[in-house]
Every structure is written in C-alpha cells, then in structure tokens.
C-alpha cells in the first residue's frame, strides 16, 4: 500500500482511488467513459444487457449500475469524473449524485449548502 494512504480508511467519507482500485474498476470506468458517445447512451437506454455484455461487466458491476448506487460505485473504484457522464444519461445533476451519496434528498442536501437555492 502507498504509505501516504496509511490510515485513510479511518477518515469518514474518504475512498482512496489508487492503482488497485483503478484496475478493479477499469471495465466500469471504460463503460461510463463511453457514455459521452450517443451510440453508447442509446445502446444502454434500449438494451442494457447488450451494453453490459459489450463492456464485459460482471454481475456485481451490472447491479451497481442498475441500482445507480453512486456511493457503491465510488467505493468499487469508479472515478467520479466518468460517473458524471452516466449521471447525465439518467438525468441526475452532480448535486443530485452528491445528495444520494449522503443518503439525502436533493432538497435536504441543498439546505446544507451555503447557497440553498442553487438549483
């Protein structure tokens, strides 16, 4: 383990993204990166199984995507920067994703922000 990450698991809400996580989640990260292409979005919207098969996703990975388990995806090793691509496909804003990760509604989450009427 990277010595800079020692003890990181004790920090609430911290999910290290290192080479091991990157390799584990590579299929998912590539799948989400492809969501910037109209053809990939259309395939997923029309035939999820075919989209998952094309990406070689495991049953666990498919479940994470189907459930839009944002925090589960982050813990699995998905990069938030590619997860944003998929959030657009399912019509959720970044703020909505953040709220979900905290187990809150968007409205409850916005009340914790300094600009509660931001959306």
Query: Given this model, what pLDDT does residue 116 score?
Result: 59
Length of the chain: 119
Per-residue pLDDT reduced to its tens digit, 76-85 = 999 989 999 9
The CATH architecture annotation of domain 18-111 reads Orthogonal Bundle (1.10)
Alpha-carbon gap, residue 115 to 110, rounded angstroms:
7
Query: Given this model, what pLDDT does residue 21 score?
Result: 80
Shortest CA distance to 35 belongs to which of 79, 77, 72, 89?
89
Q: Which stretches of the chain drop beneath a pLDDT of 50?
A: none
Shortest CA distance to 93 belongs to which of 64, 75, 70?
70
- Cα distances (Å, whole numbers) of residue 65 to 43, 57, 61, 88, 112: 14, 10, 6, 13, 27
């Amino acid at each position: 383990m990277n010595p800079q990450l020692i003890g990181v698991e004790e920090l609430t809400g911290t999910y290290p993204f290192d080479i091991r996580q990157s390799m584990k989640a590579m299929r998912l990260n590539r799948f989400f990166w492809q969501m910037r292409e109209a053809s990939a979005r259309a395939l997923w919207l029309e035939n999820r199984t075919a989209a998952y098969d094309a990406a070689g996703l495991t049953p666990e990975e498919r479940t994470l995507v189907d459930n839009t388990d944002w925090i589960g995806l982050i813990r699995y090793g998905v990069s938030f920067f590619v997860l944003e691509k998929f959030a657009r496909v399912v019509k959720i804003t970044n703020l909505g994703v953040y709220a979900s990760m905290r187990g809150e509604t968007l409205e409850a989450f916005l009340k914790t922000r300094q600009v509660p009427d931001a959306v």
